[in-house]
Amino acid sequence: MNRSTIDLWVGIFVAIGFGAILFLALKVGNLLTLDRAPGYHLEASFDNIGGLKLRAPVKAAGVVVGRVEAVRLDPKAYDAVVTMRVDRDYQFSKDTIAAINTSGLLGEVYIGLDAGGDPTMLKDGDRINKTQSAVVIEKLISQFLFEKASETGNAGGAAQAPPKSSGKAVEGAKK
Amino acid sequence: MSTEVAAGIAYWLRRLGGAVTGAVGQLGYASRFLLAVLWHTPDAFRRIHLTLREIYFAGVLSLVVILMSGLFVGMVLSLQGYETLKRYGADEQLGYVVALALVRELGPVIAGLLFASRAGSAITAEIGLMKTTEQLAAMEMMAVDPVARVVAPRFWGGVISMPLLAALFSAFGIFGGYIVGVRLIGIDSGAFWGQMHAGVDFWPDVTNGIIKSFAFGAAVSLIAVFEGYDAKPTAEGVASATTRTVVVSSLAILALDFVLTVFMFRGAKLV
Amino acid sequence: MSPTAKPSPSRAAESIAAWRVDPQVVAVELVDVSFSYDVRPVLRGITMTIPRGKIVAIMGGSGCGKTTILRLIGGQLRPQSGQVRVGGLSVPDLEPDALYDLRRKYGMLFQFGALFTDMSVFENIAFPMREHTELPEELIRDLVLMKLQAVGLRGAAYLMPAELSGGMARRVALARAIALDPMLVMYDEPFAGLDPISLGIIGQLIRRLNDALSITSVVVTHDVYESLKIVDYLYFVSEGRIVASGTPAEVRASSDPFVRQFVDGAPDGPVPFHYPASSYREELFADVD
């Protein structure tokens, strides 16, 4: 086995090895689509963010326009403050609604932006005032039962206290 | 307590103590050996053709095993994963599941185990045989340090080859998963790649997989060269050193995998 | 013809170079050397002198410490007591760099050749040249072919060690041992396991190379017949001590029981036939109780 043959094979090996790593990074993983593209930051507060995770998409009309960058708890108001980065190409009005949605029953959780008619646009660092928290299935069910119970109670008698909500939201079945 | 029982207990205590001190001594010797190998790293790279040769023998010659195994593992993952996911209506996530399992865990670990059995045992046998036939002693007497010339290139050849092999394993596994999932079972190709693409992050998934494979490569290579260098210079000595390499490397890979996974994925993707 | 050595400023190197110049400098000297592997004493109070330019044989039964002496001279082992001096330098006290320089002046022939099995014959002999000198490839090629010619194997230059017979492998190893024109060549059992023709060849090569290159040779062996033909002096080692010594003529005429047993190959004598055991009668009748 002379040197040049070995060099050739080692070269091929290293090349396809790096090719595999690149493949994993770009095609399998999402290295370049992590949008290192220029963007601006917006904040929004929610009562409950449900299963929203870091790097979750921010979509408008179903199109990904940004990513969730940070989430923290406001110690005074006890609600969740989400910081998101939006692509510079897209502008949203000041009365945009930010809602936490789930794509399908077990799909991923994302922030949906619903633009309004206000002529003023949100700038870097602005806060979205109108928000809609995640739908918590247990709360829905207990609400429903409570309403039903009130109806029958008003009609017939015994009112039932709404069952305690556990507060756990329906989370995207990603894991 | 009769003297016999006391003597018996003393005997076993002495053996236990001897075994413990022996094991600790081995560990110390192995650490010094690792330091010596690392010290000679510049030599391994100055005579780059030595290291290239070892990359050839450890990496290139392992390709067939690695690629075939990767393909089959990916195909099986896809098959098994589909059954379970379908039950929750999440069968579109198949690509994501297969890719994540391979890139994070199965790629580095299985490639590491295969590498240990194929390349690790070969390295141990080679060095052990050189020791038995006095080639290492001959080198020493010719004022050539065998650690620099024989051991360090093989160590670095293994360390460099492992991540590449693990990546190739994962890539071929994903391809195998695609063949079974999309072509055979009939999952939507767009969903397969799209969910995978969206869900598998370069950081931490792919990079942690790469870090793991580096760690495994270092562990296997070090164990292989150490066992070879330390082998008793007889036929049985080399044979037992070779089996020890495979066994200890495999255990080391699995133990390291656990430790690294705890550190890496403890806080991943949580809010 | 000495290949260009890498520049080396150590004192040891200068001292070693002095070998060629000063005929009074004794090549190798062991003074009251004792050595044990762990608790088992292998050498006890060995004193021997190997003069420059001579071939000296160290003889003894298997496992009596002959190879240990070579390792002490080569600096691979340190004696527990006594001195090992080569060219006036104390080998165990040398720093690694100085030991490195010293070893470049050694050649060693290992018991079964110890050729590097992954390289051809040519590459084996070129190995020390490539490692220790910066000679251009054309010059190395010429030197390798010359060394091979000296041992009669120039035609086998491109064979692999696995394709060589035992005798041929031994000769290639000899060519490799003299690749850098050493000052001292050590032979570890050069005659072991060879056919009669190869025995004669190796013996003659040892003698001729020693005289042609003005080197000093130490031959560790238990082959009496071949040794008596070529060496200048012999030392007999038994149980870690030197029990006899002399020139070939003295040895042939010696009446020392050990020497006589060794030279004549008698099964019993100072080295007993029976491994130490209890009384034969007692052991045979042991179960008749």
Give pLDDT, residue B182.
86
| Touching partners of C (3+ C-beta pairs < 8 Å) | B
Query: Letter for the amino acid at A64?
Result: V
Give pLDDT, residue B214.
94
**C-alpha span between C33 and C46 (Å, rounded):** 5
CA atoms within 13 A of residue B129's CA, in its CB half-sphere: 12
**Which has the minimum average pLDDT: B146-155, B258-267, C222-231?**
B258-267
**C-alpha span between C32 and C241 (Å, rounded):** 10
For an interface test with B, give the residue of C8, C117, C178 to mutate (most B CBs within 10 A): C117
Are B142 and C108 inside 8 Å of each other by CB?
Answer: yes
Q: Where are the alpha helices (DSSP H) in chain A?
A: 3-23, 137-156
Flag whether residue A62 sits within 8 Å of chain B, measured between CB atoms. no
> Cβ(B111)–Cβ(B267) under 8 Å?
no
Nearest by Cα to C140 from C125, C153, C156: C125
- Within a domain: C11: no
Give pLDDT, residue A34.
54
Please give the residue of chain B at the shortest CA–CA distance from A107.
B90
Please give the residue of chain A at the shortest CA–CA distance from B208.
A25
3-class secondary structure, A43: strand
**C-alpha span between C10 and B176 (Å, rounded):** 63
Place of tokens 């780059």: B48
Sorted by sequence, the CB contacts under 8 Å of residue B240 that are 6+ apart come out as B231, B232
For an interface test with C, give the residue of B50, B133, B140, B147 to mutate (most C CBs within 10 A): B133
Give pLDDT, residue A167.
42
3-class secondary structure, C192: coil
Overall domain count for chain C = 1
Are B196 and A28 inside 8 Å of each other by CB?
Answer: yes
> Cβ(B127)–Cβ(B214) under 8 Å?
no
Distances (CA, A) of B55 to A10, B221, C98, C135: 7, 12, 34, 28
Our CA-based measurement puts residue A17 at a distance from the nearest CA of chain B, in whole angstroms, of 4
Are A17 and B164 inside 8 Å of each other by CB?
Answer: yes
The separation between CA B182 and the C-alpha centre of its own chain, rounded to angstroms, equals: 31
Give pLDDT, residue B218.
94
Residues of C in contact with B140 (CB under 8 A): 76, 103
Residues of A in contact with B88 (CB under 8 A): 106, 173
Q: Of A17, A30, A52, which has the smallest distance from its Cβ to B202's Cβ?
A: A30
**C-alpha span between C224 and C230 (Å, rounded):** 10
> What's the token pair of residue B209?
């997989």
**C-alpha span between B50 and B34 (Å, rounded):** 19
The kind and range of the H/E element at C36 are: strand C28-37
Give pLDDT, residue A33.
58
Q: Are strands A63-73 and A80-87 parallel, antiparallel or unpaired?
A: antiparallel
Angle of helix B235-265 relative to helix B121-132, nearest 10 degrees?
Answer: 150
**C-alpha span between A130 and B178 (Å, rounded):** 43
With 70 as the cut, is the pLDDT of residue C89 above it?
yes
With 70 as the cut, is the pLDDT of residue C166 above it?
yes
The average confidence (pLDDT) of chain C is: 83
> Cβ(B173)–Cβ(B98) under 8 Å?
yes
Give pLDDT, residue B167.
94
DSSP state of B238: H
Could you list the pLDDT tens digit for every one of the 175 residues in chain A?
577 888 888 899 999 999 998 888 887 666 665 555 678 888 888 888 887 877 788 888 888 888 888 888 888 888 889 888 888 888 888 888 888 888 766 667 888 888 888 888 888 888 888 888 887 777 788 888 888 888 877 665 444 444 444 444 444 433 3
Count of residues making up chain A: 175
Count of residues making up chain B: 271
Residues of A in contact with B268 (CB under 8 A): none
**Which has the minimum average pLDDT: B58-67, C32-41, C222-231?**
C32-41
Count of residues making up chain C: 289
Residues 8-37 of C with CB under 8 A from B: none
- The answer as to CATH 2.40.30 being correct for domain A35-132 is yes
Residues of A in contact with B161 (CB under 8 A): 13
CA atoms within 13 A of residue A6's CA, in its CB half-sphere: 15
- Within a domain: C148: no
Nearest by Cα to B256 from B215, B208, B220: B215
Query: Letter for the amino acid at B126?
Result: E
Our CA-based measurement puts residue B230 at a distance from the nearest CA of chain A, in whole angstroms, of 28
Nearest by Cα to B133 from B245, B228, B33, B29: B228
Give pLDDT, residue A7.
86
Sorted by sequence, the CB contacts under 8 Å of residue B147 that are 6+ apart come out as B36, B37, B40, B229
**C-alpha span between C49 and C59 (Å, rounded):** 15
For chain B, percent of residues with pLDDT exceeding 90: 53
Sorted by sequence, the CB contacts under 8 Å of residue B243 that are 6+ apart come out as B121
> Cβ(A162)–Cβ(A138) under 8 Å?
no
CA atoms within 13 A of residue C14's CA, in its CB half-sphere: 3
Q: Of B129, B130, B137, which has the smallest distance from its Cβ to C110's Cβ?
A: B137
Instruction: Please count the helices (runs of H) and the strands (runs of E) in chain B.
Output: 13, 0
> What's the token pair of residue C114?
């110890």
With 50 as the cut, is the pLDDT of residue B52 above it?
yes
**ipTM of the modeled complex:** 0.78
Tell me the CATH number at C81. 3.40.50.300
Our CA-based measurement puts residue B214 at a distance from the nearest CA of chain C, in whole angstroms, of 28
Residues of B in contact with C128 (CB under 8 A): 142, 144
**Mean pLDDT along residues B150-161:** 94
DSSP state of B94: H
**Mean pLDDT along residues B194-201:** 78
Please give the residue of chain C at the shortest CA–CA distance from B130.
C116
**C-alpha span between B268 and C278 (Å, rounded):** 74
- Within a domain: C133: no
Distances (CA, A) of C272 to C252, C275, C278: 21, 7, 15
Please give the residue of chain B at the shortest CA–CA distance from C103.
B143
Q: Of B130, B135, B138, which has the smallest distance from its Cβ to C108's Cβ?
A: B138
> Cβ(C163)–Cβ(C194) under 8 Å?
no
> What's the token pair of residue A78?
């006890």
> What's the token pair of residue C232?
């200048």
Give pLDDT, residue B1.
61
Flag whether residue A16 sits within 8 Å of chain B, measured between CB atoms. yes
Are A13 and B60 inside 8 Å of each other by CB?
Answer: yes
Nearest by Cα to B230 from B47, B57, B44, B27: B27
For an interface test with B, give the residue of A2, A27, A28, A33 to mutate (most B CBs within 10 A): A28
Whole domain around residue C204: which residue ranges? 26-117+183-260
Band of residue C267 on the pLDDT scale cut at 50, 70, 90:
confident
Band of residue B250 on the pLDDT scale cut at 50, 70, 90:
very high
**C-alpha span between B26 and B33 (Å, rounded):** 10
Sorted by sequence, the CB contacts under 8 Å of residue C256 that are 6+ apart come out as C243, C244
DSSP labels, C234-258: EEEEETTEEEEEE-HHHHHH---HH
- Within a domain: C230: yes
Give me the residue spans of the domains in chain A: 1-33, 35-132
Distances (CA, A) of C127 to A62, B49, C140: 69, 15, 10
Are B206 and A24 inside 8 Å of each other by CB?
Answer: yes
**Mean pLDDT along residues B11-36:** 87
| Touching partners of A (3+ C-beta pairs < 8 Å) | B
**C-alpha span between A138 and C181 (Å, rounded):** 91
> Cβ(C106)–Cβ(C86) under 8 Å?
no
Sorted by sequence, the CB contacts under 8 Å of residue C170 that are 6+ apart come out as C109, C112, C113, C190, C194, C198, C202
pTM, rounded to two decimals:
0.77
**Mean pLDDT along residues B7-20:** 88
Flag whether residue A70 sits within 8 Å of chain B, measured between CB atoms. no
Sorted by sequence, the CB contacts under 8 Å of residue B212 that are 6+ apart come out as B108, B109, B166, B256, B257, B260, B264
Q: What are B87-133's pLDDT values in tens digits? A: 888 888 888 889 989 998 999 999 999 999 999 999 999 999 999 99
> Cβ(C5)–Cβ(C135) under 8 Å?
no
**Which has the minimum average pLDDT: A32-46, B60-74, C108-122, C217-231?**
A32-46
What region, left, alpha or beta, does residue A97 occupy, with left being phi > 0 and alpha being psi -120 to 50 degrees? beta
Measured on CA atoms in the order C203, C209, C210, C216, is the torsion positive or negative? negative
Residues of B in contact with C110 (CB under 8 A): 134, 137-138
